[in-house]
Amino acid sequence: MSQVEQPLTIDEAYNQDNDRALKFLRPRFHEEKFPTIQILGYIGSLILTFGAYFLVMDHVLPPVSLLAVILALAVMQGALQIGVFMHVREGRGLAWQIVPLYLVFLIAMGMVGMSIWIMLFKSGVS
């Protein structure tokens, strides 16, 4: 049923949620004429991607430090995607988004970490 409701203001919407104690999670809505942050984020994500690519292709680092640097770049990339393109701070009930985010990190870290653990066998075999 498409009841025509008056859209809530940000403050009203915020006050309807239960996480009033979590002041720092208060949503921020950006309304801008030009998507500066997104364009900067896009350039940033490209830099992170190509940075990783050239580090691997040009063999500038020993393997273990290379792995560490790439993982650090990957974490930065992930944070950038979630923050800039998924607008994680803009929305109601932000506290609820923390739970799935933890889940994502758990599973992603599990996949990456365990893959490294599993594939370490190569150093012993070949």
Amino acid identity of residue 83, one-letter, is G
Minimum distance, C-beta of residue 121 to other proteins, in the bound complex (Å): 4
DSSP assignment string, 18-82: S-TT-GGG-------SS-HHHHHHHHHHHHHHHHHHHHHHTT-S-HHHHHHHHHHHHHHHHHHII
Tokens in use for 122?
């190569």
Per-residue interface string for the shown chain with other proteins, residues 106-125, x marking contact by CB under 8 A = -x--xx--xx-xxxxxx-xx
Minimum distance, C-beta of residue 80 to other proteins, in the bound complex (Å): 17
Q: Which residues, 6+ apart, have CB-to-CB distance to 91 below 8 Å?
A: 27, 97
Minimum distance, C-beta of residue 117 to other proteins, in the bound complex (Å): 7
Tokens in use for 35?
């998507």
Q: Which is nearer to other proteins, 4 or 21 (CB)?
A: 4
Instruction: Please pick, from the candidates 1, 21, 64, 99, the single residue that binds other proteins as defined by CB under 8 A.
Output: 1
**For residues 2-31, which are near other proteins according to CB under 8 A?**
2-3
Question: Which residues contribute to the site for other proteins (CB under 8 A)?
Answer: 1-3, 107, 110-111, 114-115, 117-122, 124-125
